[in-house]
Protein backbone atom coordinates (compact mmCIF):
# COMPACT_ATOMS: atom_id res chain seq x y z
CA UNK A 1 0.00 0.00 0.00
CA UNK A 2 1.35 3.44 -0.94
CA UNK A 3 2.49 5.89 1.71
CA UNK A 4 -0.42 7.63 3.45
CA UNK A 5 -1.09 9.31 6.78
CA UNK A 6 -3.89 10.43 8.99
CA UNK A 7 -3.93 13.88 10.53
CA UNK A 8 -6.41 15.58 12.85
CA UNK A 9 -8.13 18.84 11.84
CA UNK A 10 -6.15 21.09 14.21
CA UNK A 11 -2.84 19.74 12.99
CA UNK A 12 -3.92 20.12 9.38
CA UNK A 13 -4.71 23.82 9.90
CA UNK A 14 -1.48 24.26 11.84
CA UNK A 15 0.47 22.68 8.95
CA UNK A 16 -1.26 25.00 6.49
CA UNK A 17 -0.51 28.08 8.63
CA UNK A 18 3.15 27.13 8.74
CA UNK A 19 3.24 26.68 4.99
CA UNK A 20 1.92 30.20 4.50
CA UNK A 21 5.39 31.45 5.38
CA UNK A 22 6.84 29.85 2.28
CA UNK A 23 3.76 29.59 0.03
CA UNK A 24 1.09 31.91 -1.30
CA UNK A 25 -1.95 29.84 -0.39
CA UNK A 26 -5.30 30.03 -2.19
CA UNK A 27 -8.34 28.39 -0.71
CA UNK A 28 -12.14 28.48 -0.41
CA UNK A 29 -13.48 31.26 1.84
CA UNK A 30 -16.90 32.81 2.28
CA UNK A 31 -17.02 36.36 0.93
CA UNK A 32 -19.18 39.22 2.21
CA UNK A 33 -22.15 38.15 0.12
CA UNK A 34 -21.99 34.64 1.49
CA UNK A 35 -20.56 33.11 -1.68
CA UNK A 36 -17.64 30.76 -1.39
CA UNK A 37 -14.74 31.88 -3.58
CA UNK A 38 -11.13 30.84 -4.04
CA UNK A 39 -8.95 33.62 -2.68
CA UNK A 40 -5.46 34.17 -1.35
CA UNK A 41 -5.68 33.32 2.35
CA UNK A 42 -3.62 34.69 5.18
CA UNK A 43 -4.82 32.42 7.95
CA UNK A 44 -6.23 28.94 7.92
CA UNK A 45 -9.15 29.69 10.26
CA UNK A 46 -11.21 31.46 7.60
CA UNK A 47 -11.29 28.42 5.30
CA UNK A 48 -14.66 26.94 4.40
CA UNK A 49 -13.88 23.26 3.98
CA UNK A 50 -17.54 22.25 3.67
CA UNK A 51 -18.07 24.37 0.57
CA UNK A 52 -20.28 23.06 -2.18
CA UNK A 53 -19.10 24.73 -5.39
CA UNK A 54 -17.51 28.04 -6.33
CA UNK A 55 -18.44 30.25 -9.27
CA UNK A 56 -14.90 30.17 -10.65
CA UNK A 57 -12.73 27.14 -10.21
CA UNK A 58 -9.06 27.32 -9.25
CA UNK A 59 -8.26 27.42 -12.99
CA UNK A 60 -7.94 31.21 -12.58
CA UNK A 61 -4.69 30.85 -10.61
CA UNK A 62 -3.01 28.75 -13.28
CA UNK A 63 -4.67 30.23 -16.35
CA UNK A 64 -5.68 33.79 -15.33
CA UNK A 65 -8.62 35.52 -16.99
CA UNK A 66 -6.22 38.17 -18.27
CA UNK A 67 -2.46 38.04 -18.44
CA UNK A 68 0.44 39.82 -20.09
CA UNK A 69 2.30 37.78 -22.70
CA UNK A 70 4.90 40.19 -24.05
CA UNK A 71 6.50 43.55 -23.52
CA UNK A 72 7.31 44.87 -26.97
CA UNK A 73 9.72 47.73 -27.61
CA UNK A 74 8.22 49.50 -30.61
CA UNK A 75 11.45 51.26 -31.52
CA UNK A 76 13.58 48.13 -31.83
CA UNK A 77 10.72 45.73 -32.50
CA UNK A 78 12.08 43.39 -29.79
CA UNK A 79 9.56 41.45 -27.79
CA UNK A 80 10.20 40.08 -24.34
CA UNK A 81 8.23 37.20 -22.83
CA UNK A 82 6.67 38.26 -19.52
CA UNK A 83 6.36 35.22 -17.30
CA UNK A 84 4.22 35.39 -14.16
CA UNK A 85 6.42 36.81 -11.41
CA UNK A 86 6.17 35.05 -8.09
CA UNK A 87 8.43 35.53 -5.16
CA UNK A 88 6.88 32.59 -3.34
CA UNK A 89 5.72 29.18 -4.44
CA UNK A 90 1.98 28.77 -4.59
CA UNK A 91 -0.48 26.28 -3.22
CA UNK A 92 -4.15 25.81 -4.02
CA UNK A 93 -5.81 24.18 -1.04
CA UNK A 94 -9.03 22.14 -0.92
CA UNK A 95 -9.59 21.75 -4.66
CA UNK A 96 -12.58 19.52 -5.30
CA UNK A 97 -11.86 16.45 -7.44
CA UNK A 98 -13.88 17.77 -10.41
CA UNK A 99 -11.75 20.92 -10.50
CA UNK A 100 -8.52 18.94 -10.20
CA UNK A 101 -9.66 16.81 -13.12
CA UNK A 102 -10.45 20.05 -14.98
CA UNK A 103 -6.87 21.21 -14.56
CA UNK A 104 -5.62 17.89 -15.89
CA UNK A 105 -7.98 18.40 -18.86
CA UNK A 106 -6.50 21.87 -19.46
CA UNK A 107 -3.01 20.33 -19.36
CA UNK A 108 -3.86 18.39 -22.52
CA UNK A 109 -4.40 21.65 -24.39
CA UNK A 110 -1.66 23.83 -22.95
CA UNK A 111 1.12 21.33 -22.42
CA UNK A 112 0.31 19.07 -25.36
CA UNK A 113 2.17 19.15 -28.68
CA UNK A 114 2.72 22.90 -28.32
CA UNK A 115 3.76 24.09 -24.86
CA UNK A 116 2.30 27.28 -23.49
CA UNK A 117 5.14 28.68 -21.37
CA UNK A 118 2.86 30.86 -19.22
CA UNK A 119 0.51 28.04 -18.27
CA UNK A 120 3.39 25.60 -17.96
CA UNK A 121 5.25 27.77 -15.48
CA UNK A 122 2.21 28.55 -13.33
CA UNK A 123 1.22 24.89 -13.28
CA UNK A 124 4.71 23.80 -12.29
CA UNK A 125 5.00 26.46 -9.58
CA UNK A 126 1.66 25.62 -7.98
CA UNK A 127 1.14 22.85 -5.47
CA UNK A 128 -2.33 21.32 -5.70
CA UNK A 129 -4.08 19.92 -2.64
CA UNK A 130 -7.35 18.11 -3.34
CA UNK A 131 -10.15 17.61 -0.86
CA UNK A 132 -12.49 14.73 -1.74
CA UNK A 133 -16.24 15.43 -1.62
CA UNK A 134 -18.20 13.42 0.93
CA UNK A 135 -21.47 14.56 -0.54
CA UNK A 136 -22.78 15.53 -3.97
CA UNK A 137 -23.40 19.22 -4.58
CA UNK A 138 -26.70 20.55 -5.91
CA UNK A 139 -26.08 20.46 -9.65
CA UNK A 140 -22.94 18.35 -9.83
CA UNK A 141 -22.85 15.08 -11.75
CA UNK A 142 -19.14 14.28 -11.51
CA UNK A 143 -19.87 10.64 -10.66
CA UNK A 144 -21.35 10.27 -14.15
CA UNK A 145 -18.30 11.85 -15.75
CA UNK A 146 -15.78 9.74 -13.81
CA UNK A 147 -14.27 12.81 -12.16
CA UNK A 148 -15.65 12.54 -8.63
CA UNK A 149 -16.86 12.66 -5.95
CA UNK A 150 -13.44 11.21 -5.04
CA UNK A 151 -10.33 11.94 -7.08
CA UNK A 152 -9.74 9.41 -9.84
CA UNK A 153 -6.35 10.75 -10.97
CA UNK A 154 -3.15 8.85 -10.26
CA UNK A 155 -0.84 11.81 -10.88
CA UNK A 156 -0.85 15.44 -12.00
CA UNK A 157 -1.70 16.60 -8.47
CA UNK A 158 0.29 16.74 -5.24
CA UNK A 159 -1.80 15.84 -2.21
CA UNK A 160 -5.31 14.46 -1.74
CA UNK A 161 -7.23 14.66 1.52
CA UNK A 162 -10.30 12.73 2.60
CA UNK A 163 -12.30 14.01 5.56
CA UNK A 164 -13.05 11.07 7.80
CA UNK A 165 -15.05 10.98 10.99
CA UNK A 166 -12.19 11.85 13.36
CA UNK A 167 -9.40 12.95 11.05
CA UNK A 168 -8.19 13.38 7.50
CA UNK A 169 -6.55 10.76 5.34
CA UNK A 170 -3.60 12.30 3.49
CA UNK A 171 -2.40 10.62 0.28
CA UNK A 172 0.05 11.80 -2.34
CA UNK A 173 0.21 12.21 -6.11
CA UNK A 174 3.78 13.46 -6.37
CA UNK A 175 7.13 13.38 -4.63
CA UNK A 176 6.99 17.09 -3.83
CA UNK A 177 3.50 16.58 -2.37
CA UNK A 178 4.93 13.92 -0.12
CA UNK A 179 7.82 16.18 0.93
CA UNK A 180 5.54 19.05 1.81
CA UNK A 181 2.84 16.88 3.38
CA UNK A 182 5.28 15.13 5.68
CA UNK A 183 6.21 18.45 7.27
CA UNK A 184 2.93 18.30 9.21
CA UNK A 185 2.99 17.55 12.93
CA UNK A 186 1.09 14.64 14.39
CA UNK A 187 1.03 12.50 11.24
CA UNK A 188 0.17 8.88 11.88
CA UNK A 189 0.71 6.15 9.34
CA UNK A 190 -2.62 5.20 7.78
CA UNK A 191 -3.87 1.74 8.60
CA UNK A 192 -6.03 -0.65 6.66
CA UNK A 193 -9.07 0.57 8.54
CA UNK A 194 -8.51 4.12 7.33
CA UNK A 195 -8.73 2.97 3.72
CA UNK A 196 -11.82 0.90 4.46
CA UNK A 197 -13.44 3.98 5.97
CA UNK A 198 -12.47 5.99 2.88
CA UNK A 199 -14.11 3.39 0.62
CA UNK A 200 -17.26 3.50 2.73
CA UNK A 201 -17.45 7.31 2.60
CA UNK A 202 -16.92 7.27 -1.14
CA UNK A 203 -19.71 4.73 -1.64
CA UNK A 204 -22.08 6.86 0.45
CA UNK A 205 -21.07 9.99 -1.45
CA UNK A 206 -21.81 8.28 -4.75
CA UNK A 207 -25.31 7.49 -3.51
CA UNK A 208 -26.04 11.14 -2.81
CA UNK A 209 -26.16 12.34 -6.44
CA UNK A 210 -29.44 13.71 -7.71
CA UNK A 211 -28.08 14.50 -11.14
CA UNK A 212 -26.87 11.89 -13.57
CA UNK A 213 -26.00 11.50 -17.21
CA UNK A 214 -25.43 8.34 -19.23
CA UNK A 215 -22.17 8.86 -21.11
CA UNK A 216 -22.03 5.46 -22.84
CA UNK A 217 -21.81 6.07 -26.59
CA UNK A 218 -22.73 9.70 -26.04
CA UNK A 219 -20.08 11.31 -28.33
CA UNK A 220 -21.11 9.20 -31.33
CA UNK A 221 -24.78 9.77 -30.61
CA UNK A 222 -24.37 13.55 -30.47
CA UNK A 223 -22.30 13.60 -33.67
CA UNK A 224 -24.99 11.61 -35.48
CA UNK A 225 -27.59 14.17 -34.44
CA UNK A 226 -25.98 17.54 -35.12
CA UNK A 227 -29.23 18.69 -36.72
CA UNK A 228 -31.42 17.77 -33.73
CA UNK A 229 -34.11 20.43 -33.12
CA UNK A 230 -33.25 20.74 -29.40
CA UNK A 231 -30.40 23.12 -30.23
CA UNK A 232 -32.50 25.56 -32.19
CA UNK A 233 -35.44 25.38 -29.82
CA UNK A 234 -33.29 25.90 -26.71
CA UNK A 235 -31.12 28.59 -28.29
CA UNK A 236 -34.01 30.58 -29.74
CA UNK A 237 -36.10 30.42 -26.60
CA UNK A 238 -33.49 30.67 -23.86
CA UNK A 239 -29.89 31.39 -24.86
CA UNK A 240 -29.03 35.02 -24.25
CA UNK A 241 -25.52 34.67 -25.68
CA UNK A 242 -24.11 36.01 -22.40
CA UNK A 243 -21.06 33.64 -22.40
CA UNK A 244 -21.48 32.85 -18.67
CA UNK A 245 -21.31 29.10 -19.33
CA UNK A 246 -17.85 29.35 -20.87
CA UNK A 247 -16.52 31.87 -18.35
CA UNK A 248 -17.30 29.59 -15.39
CA UNK A 249 -16.44 26.31 -17.12
CA UNK A 250 -13.18 25.06 -15.58
CA UNK A 251 -12.03 23.35 -18.79
CA UNK A 252 -12.67 26.23 -21.20
CA UNK A 253 -9.36 27.38 -22.63
CA UNK A 254 -10.18 29.75 -25.50
CA UNK A 255 -8.48 33.10 -25.48
CA UNK A 256 -8.16 36.27 -27.47
CA UNK A 257 -4.99 38.31 -27.85
CA UNK A 258 -4.92 42.08 -27.51
CA UNK A 259 -2.22 44.72 -27.99
CA UNK A 260 -2.20 47.83 -25.82
CA UNK A 261 0.23 50.62 -26.67
CA UNK A 262 1.57 53.21 -24.26
CA UNK A 263 0.67 56.89 -24.76
CA UNK A 264 4.19 57.74 -25.87
CA UNK A 265 3.95 54.97 -28.50
CA UNK A 266 7.22 53.47 -27.25
CA UNK A 267 5.99 50.18 -25.84
CA UNK A 268 3.24 47.71 -26.52
CA UNK A 269 1.89 45.17 -24.05
CA UNK A 270 0.55 42.06 -25.72
CA UNK A 271 -1.89 40.28 -23.44
CA UNK A 272 -4.52 37.58 -23.62
CA UNK A 273 -7.88 37.16 -21.98
CA UNK A 274 -10.51 34.40 -21.80
CA UNK A 275 -12.64 34.38 -24.90
CA UNK A 276 -15.84 32.47 -25.56
CA UNK A 277 -17.25 30.44 -28.45
CA UNK A 278 -20.62 31.85 -27.37
CA UNK A 279 -19.55 35.32 -28.38
CA UNK A 280 -21.13 36.45 -31.67
CA UNK A 281 -17.94 37.18 -33.59
CA UNK A 282 -15.81 34.34 -32.25
CA UNK A 283 -15.73 32.46 -35.58
CA UNK A 284 -16.01 35.47 -37.87
CA UNK A 285 -13.61 36.00 -40.74
CA UNK A 286 -13.70 38.23 -43.80
CA UNK A 287 -15.55 35.51 -45.70
CA UNK A 288 -18.34 35.30 -43.15
CA UNK A 289 -19.34 34.25 -39.65
CA UNK A 290 -19.35 30.47 -39.41
CA UNK A 291 -21.38 30.42 -36.21
CA UNK A 292 -23.63 33.43 -36.63
CA UNK A 293 -26.69 31.78 -35.06
CA UNK A 294 -27.15 31.12 -31.36
CA UNK A 295 -28.23 27.62 -32.31
CA UNK A 296 -24.82 26.96 -33.89
CA UNK A 297 -23.01 28.42 -30.88
CA UNK A 298 -25.02 26.41 -28.36
CA UNK A 299 -24.39 23.25 -30.37
CA UNK A 300 -20.69 24.09 -30.41
CA UNK A 301 -20.65 24.29 -26.61
CA UNK A 302 -22.61 21.09 -26.01
CA UNK A 303 -20.95 18.96 -28.68
CA UNK A 304 -17.48 20.19 -27.82
CA UNK A 305 -17.80 19.36 -24.12
CA UNK A 306 -19.56 16.02 -24.64
CA UNK A 307 -18.36 14.75 -28.01
CA UNK A 308 -15.55 16.32 -30.06
CA UNK A 309 -13.35 16.85 -26.97
CA UNK A 310 -13.09 13.06 -26.71
CA UNK A 311 -11.78 12.89 -30.28
CA UNK A 312 -9.33 15.74 -29.59
CA UNK A 313 -8.00 14.82 -26.18
CA UNK A 314 -9.27 11.37 -25.25
CA UNK A 315 -11.45 12.65 -22.41
CA UNK A 316 -14.69 14.55 -21.97
CA UNK A 317 -14.47 18.35 -21.83
CA UNK A 318 -17.16 18.25 -19.17
CA UNK A 319 -16.14 17.30 -15.65
CA UNK A 320 -19.66 17.43 -14.28
CA UNK A 321 -19.32 20.41 -11.93
CA UNK A 322 -22.66 21.87 -13.02
CA UNK A 323 -21.37 25.45 -13.17
CA UNK A 324 -22.62 26.17 -16.72
CA UNK A 325 -26.24 25.47 -15.79
CA UNK A 326 -25.93 27.07 -12.34
CA UNK A 327 -24.71 30.38 -13.75
CA UNK A 328 -26.80 30.35 -16.92
CA UNK A 329 -29.46 33.08 -16.47
CA UNK A 330 -32.04 30.76 -18.04
CA UNK A 331 -30.65 27.52 -16.61
CA UNK A 332 -29.80 25.85 -19.90
CA UNK A 333 -28.63 22.40 -18.87
CA UNK A 334 -26.39 20.43 -21.22
CA UNK A 335 -27.31 17.16 -19.54
CA UNK A 336 -30.98 17.80 -20.38
CA UNK A 337 -30.05 18.51 -24.00
CA UNK A 338 -28.11 15.25 -24.13
CA UNK A 339 -30.95 13.38 -22.44
CA UNK A 340 -33.52 14.70 -24.89
CA UNK A 341 -31.47 13.44 -27.82
CA UNK A 342 -30.86 10.10 -26.08
CA UNK A 343 -34.58 9.78 -25.44
CA UNK A 344 -35.40 10.55 -29.08
CA UNK A 345 -32.95 7.87 -30.19
CA UNK A 346 -34.64 5.36 -27.90
CA UNK A 347 -38.06 6.03 -29.40
CA UNK A 348 -36.72 6.20 -32.93
CA UNK A 349 -37.15 9.94 -33.47
CA UNK A 350 -33.41 10.50 -33.84
CA UNK A 351 -30.54 8.47 -35.26
Partner 1 sequence: MRAESINPLSPRTAILKERIAETQDTFSLRLSLQGDGFNFRPGQFNMLGLPGIGEAPFSFSLIDKQKRVLVQTIRQAGNVVGALAKLQKGRKVHFRGPYGNGWPLEKLKGKNVIVVAGGIGMAPLRPVIHHLLKHGNEIGAAYLLYGARTSTDMLFKDDLARWSKKINVLLSADEVNEQGPLQVHEGLVTTLFDQLDIRLSDTITFTCGPQIMMKFVAAGLAMEGQNPRDIYVSLERRMKCGIGHCGHCQIGAKYVCKDGPVFRLPDIRKYADTLL
Q: How far is the CB of 147 from partner 1 (least distance, A)?
A: 20
Q: How far is the CB of 202 from partner 1 (least distance, A)?
A: 33
Residue 7 CA to residue 2 CA, distance in Å, equals: 16
Q: How far is the CB of 135 from partner 1 (least distance, A)?
A: 34
Residue whose CB is less far from partner 1, 186 or 219: 219
Interface contacts to partner 1, rule CB under 8 A: 69-70, 72, 74, 77, 79-81, 83, 109-110, 112-117, 223, 226, 253-259, 261, 265, 268, 270, 272, 275, 277, 282-287, 290-291, 296, 299-300, 303-304, 308-309, 311-312
Smallest CA-to-CA distance from 249 within 157, 164, 317, 180 is with: 317
Q: How far is the CB of 295 from partner 1 (least distance, A)?
A: 10
Smallest CA-to-CA distance from 214 within 143, 136, 160 is with: 143
Q: How far is the CB of 99 from partner 1 (least distance, A)?
A: 20
Residue 290 CA to residue 121 CA, distance in Å, equals: 34
270 SS3 class: strand
What is each CA distance from 296 to 108, 166, 260, 279, 343, in whole angstroms? 25, 51, 32, 11, 21
Q: How far is the CB of 217 from partner 1 (least distance, A)?
A: 17
273 with 258: CB under 8 angstroms? yes
What is each CA distance from 64 to 40, 270, 325, in whole angstroms? 14, 15, 22
Smallest CA-to-CA distance from 262 within 270, 253, 254 is with: 270
Residue whose CB is less far from partner 1, 48 or 107: 107
Residue whose CB is less far from partner 1, 46 or 241: 241
User: What sign results for the dihedral spanned by CA atoms 120, 250, 64, 49?
Assistant: negative
Amino acid sequence: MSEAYVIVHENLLCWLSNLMKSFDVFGPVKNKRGQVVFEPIKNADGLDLDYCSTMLGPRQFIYPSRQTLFDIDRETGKSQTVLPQQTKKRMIFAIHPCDMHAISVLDRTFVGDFKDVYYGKARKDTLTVVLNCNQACDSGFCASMGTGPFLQLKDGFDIVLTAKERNYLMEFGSERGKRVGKKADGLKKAKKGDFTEKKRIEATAKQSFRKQMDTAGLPELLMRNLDHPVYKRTADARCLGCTNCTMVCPTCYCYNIEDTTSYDLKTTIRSRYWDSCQELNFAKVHEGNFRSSREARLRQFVTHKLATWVEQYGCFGCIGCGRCMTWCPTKIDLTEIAKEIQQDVRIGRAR
